[in-house]
Structure formats: C-alpha cells, structure tokens
Amino acid sequence: MSYIEIPYIMANQDLLALEYKIDELIKAYKKIEQENRLLGAEREAWKTERAKLIKQNELARSRVEAMIERLKTMEAPDV
C-alpha cells in the first residue's frame, strides 16, 4: 500500500460513513413525515368528532330548556 492509497481509502471510508448517515436521516425523515400525516388525520377526525358532540350538546340543551318551559307553564296557576 502506498502513501497515496491511504488518504484515498480514508476518504472512501468517510464517504461511505457519510452516505450511511444520510440514508439514516432520510429514513428518519420519512418516518416522521408518515407520523405527521397520521397525526394530521387523527386531528381532523377529533375536530369532526368535537363538532358533532358540540352540536349534540346544543340540541340536548335546547330540548331540556323546552321541557323546563313546558313544566313552568304546567305549574303556573290558571288565571
């Protein structure tokens, strides 16, 4: 092995190590990107569920208020 080959081998090993690290970063990025998409979909589902529950709550409140008004009119003495 000559003096010129040693830096070449080291440079080649450095490039291979760098390539490996870049590949690992790409894998990590793709994984995080996938998780982000899933979290976004879950967030939208939760927003839809929340809106549905708010609407149901408003409907229930309206019905309870109507029942209370009917009870009040039943309790009121006839004039």
Give φ, ψ of 9 to 5 degrees.
-65, -45
State pLDDT tens for residues 19-75: 999 999 999 999 999 999 999 999 999 999 999 999 999 999 999 999 999 999 998
**CA-to-CA distance for 17 and 22, rounded, in angstroms?**
9
Non-local CB neighbours of 55 within 8 Å, separated by 6+ positions: none
- pLDDT at position 3 over 60: no
Residue 77 pLDDT class (50, 70, 90 cuts): confident
In the predicted structure, residue 5 carries a pLDDT above the cut 70: no
Quote the distance between the C-alpha of residue 23 and its chain's center.
Answer: 26
* Predicted model pTM: 0.60
Q: Where are the beta strands (DSSP E) in the chain?
A: none
